[in-house]
Amino acid sequence: MNTRSIFVFGLSTILFSGAAQAQKLTSNVPYVENGHERQVLDIYAQEQAGKEKLPVMFWIHGGGWVVGDKGDVAIKPRVLTERGFVFVSTNYRLLPDVTMDVLIRDVAKSLGWVHRNISQYGGDPNRIFVGGHSAGAQLAALICIDERYLNEESVSFDVLKGCIPVDGDTYDIPKIIMTAEHRQTLYGGKMFTFGHRQKFGNDPEKHVDFSAVTHLAKGKGIPPFLILYFTGNPDTTAQARRLETVLNEAEIPAKAFGKGDTNHHRLNDDLGKPDDPATQEFFRFLDTHAVADSN
């Protein structure tokens, strides 16, 4: 594989040439003017895009809201650009340096930047999918259901074509807090000092407000959901099924798909492998919802 690097205005652009169409990575693009060093994103696109604007996958990394990086994307950028997508992976500021509401708004700001600017990279600003793993799954689900965050960035739900949260355990935060703390009490474990209760703010009202399930309602334009989870984890299984249920009750197309022969990290890293059942569901979902409007 031949590689060459170009540095322009502080951004790194790398061209990857392979058997498939060449892929261009533009890294560390700031989505806030004069912002924090973590308020940056990476854009993976075809080297020579045609006139047709391509659907966009906007990806949010995991790491418990305290660690993680936009580079943790495994093979997803290569596979999705080969399938005709522009792939964007974002960083955001982390706990405890900022509070959860600021962290969520970083992600919304990043998506707002993508909506306004992605056409320069061959992407369609009106066909955006939002995905994320673990903590990123909670963030993806929340900003696709609670319209306040994207409204602040003048982004309508109309531009969102689908949401793919992967193995999150915090779509209903009060329930996971009760589950985890009850488990510790029953079995004599030491109580958490920086668990979900503390991360989302000790105020129980915040736990409710930061839960995607709280904000479900018909007629809001919430996009379809594919919720992937590892069946060996009872917490992510219960949370995925809970989110699926409330989405369907609000008449929003949603499917929870569980995979057993994996783990929390492999489920995410294997997305894109052709023989992977979760990938097959993922591709079916994208193929169904990525079709451009005829008008």
17 pLDDT band, cuts 50/70/90, is: very low
pLDDT(295) > 90: no
Q: What is the pLDDT of residues 66-121, one digit of tens each?
A: 999 999 999 999 999 999 999 999 999 999 999 999 999 999 999 999 999 999 99
pLDDT band for position 292 (cuts 50, 70, 90): confident
Phi, psi (deg, nearest 5) at residue 222: -60, 135
How much is the pLDDT for 1?
Answer: 35
Average pLDDT over residues 146-166: 98
Q: Is 2's pLDDT higher than 50?
A: no
Euclidean distance between the first and the last CA atom of the chain, given in angstroms as a whole number = 40
Q: Record the pTM.
A: 0.93
Split into its structural domains, the chain has a count of: 1
Q: Decide if 267 is inside a domain.
A: yes
Taking residues 145-164, report their average pLDDT: 98
Q: In whole angstroms, give the CA distance from residue 240 to residue 229.
A: 7
Q: What is the pLDDT of residue 12?
A: 60
Say if 124 falls within a structural domain. yes
| Domain boundaries, position 104 | 3-172+211-289
Residue 226, domain member (yes or no): yes
Tell whether the model's pLDDT for residue 162 goes beyond 70: yes
78-89 burial code (b ≥16 CB/10 A, e <16): bbbbebbbbbbb
In tens, the pLDDT along 207-230 reads 999 999 999 999 999 999 999 999
Residue ranges of the alpha helices (H) in 55-159? 76-82, 100-117, 135-145, 148-151
Q: CATH number of the domain at 122, please.
A: 3.40.50.1820
- Distances in Å between the Cα of 251 and the Cα atoms of 11, 245, 247, 248, 254 are 43, 10, 6, 5, 9
Give the pLDDT of residue 234: 98
Residue-level pLDDT at 13 = 58
- pLDDT value at 10 more than 60: no
Q: Give the closest residue to 211 by CA, choosing from 196, 222, 232.
A: 196
* 246 part of a folded domain: yes
Per-residue DSSP letter, 159: G
Task: Let me know if residue 186 belongs to a domain.
Answer: no
